[in-house]
Amino acid sequence: MKKYRKLILLIVLVLSVAGMFIFAITDRKDSEQEYRNAFARHYRIFSPELPVRLDFAGESVPLQIFYVRESLDREILVGTFMHSYTQQMFKRANRYFPVIEPILKKMRIPDDFKYLAIAESNLGNVTSPAGAEGVWQFLPATGRKYGLEVNADIDERYNLEKATFAACNYLQEAYDTFENWTLAAAAYNRGIDGLMKTLKSQQVNNYYDLFFSEETARYIFRILAAKEIYTHPVQYGFYLKSSDFYPVIPTDTITVDTTINDLPRFALQLGINYRMLREFNPWIQSYRLPDKSGKIYRFILPKKEFIDITRNPKKTDEVETYFHDTLKINQLH
């Protein structure tokens, strides 16, 4: 009997371990199945509905043409599901559209061209592989042609006001050439001469009838998608609070007409630092401002009360209150 007792104990032990192993596998399978069932019940991806009608600068978009509709659909999908990119559009637009919109109005350029700046740079001071820079993405030679100073110390492609005026002058020239705002927008990407050659070679006079390389082919539809999503955010799943936006910071301006050899020291004398000076004046490109001709340069500076409260780490609530009490912040519905 003793001889079989060890054998019986060994069999019981093996069966217990096997049972635990089978139970663990079964339990894991049950958990995985439960997860998959929950995922199937709750996870949903919907294709956003396209607008029935759409226009750019008052010019109708022919959505009845299948490739026009599908091209718009592509950019709407990108804008809807590239959440971080599109949320950044909303956040930046709250700060920079108030600069761009009145300039467009003053220059008699349709308001829809503010979305061209989104297609170009998403309202950021970025540099393209071709060397185009700033919100409006001017190449150095083009920037100089339209009145911007571009050199090692000063690059007015990063001056949002001046670059917006330069973009308006370019767009007006393009409109005078093509007598069509959609083609003027396409020319901003393709170039006026390049677009003229394409129109002649394909023997048409409408953007939507042209065959382009992918970049220009997508360009107008990226602008249209930015307009559609920005105008109807909730329809595309974007719910933002007023506090989510980058607020318009209250500023003052000063002018100078002489050389400044030490901009960091100049900033400290103004009660800020060089970093803050560059944040508000990104057209500065070095530690000095050469000015042999007596040209007038305008520096934008944050208001003193804003500097005072942001310097104190204990005054976070005051900063929030300050923004909400003194600034107009757009609220999306």
- pLDDT tens, per residue, the chain with 333 residues: 555 666 666 666 666 666 666 655 565 666 777 777 877 777 788 899 999 999 999 999 999 999 999 999 999 999 999 999 999 999 999 999 999 999 999 999 999 999 999 999 999 999 999 999 999 999 999 999 999 999 999 999 999 999 999 999 999 999 999 999 999 999 999 999 999 999 999 999 999 999 999 999 999 999 999 999 999 999 999 999 888 999 999 999 999 999 999 999 999 999 999 999 999 999 999 999 999 899 999 999 999 887 777 777 665 555 555 555 544 444 443
Residue 246 lies in a domain: no
Closest CA to 180 of 210, 157, 153, 151: 210
Predicted model pTM: 0.83
Residue 66 sits in the same domain as residue 138: yes
Residue span of the structural domain in which 27 resides: 16-45
Residue 3 lies in a domain: no
Residue 162 sits in the same domain as residue 273: no
Residue 31 sits in the same domain as residue 116: no
* Phi, psi angles (nearest 5°) of residue 120: -75, -45
Burial class of 309 by CB neighbour count within 10 A (0 to 12, 13 to 18, 19+):
middle
Residue 269 lies in a domain: yes
Residues 6+ apart with CB under 8 A from 237: 48, 80
**Separation in Å, CA 206 to CA 59, 62, 184, 227, 285:** 11, 11, 11, 21, 41
Residue 9 lies in a domain: no
CB 305 within 8 A of CB 272: no
Domain count, the chain: 3
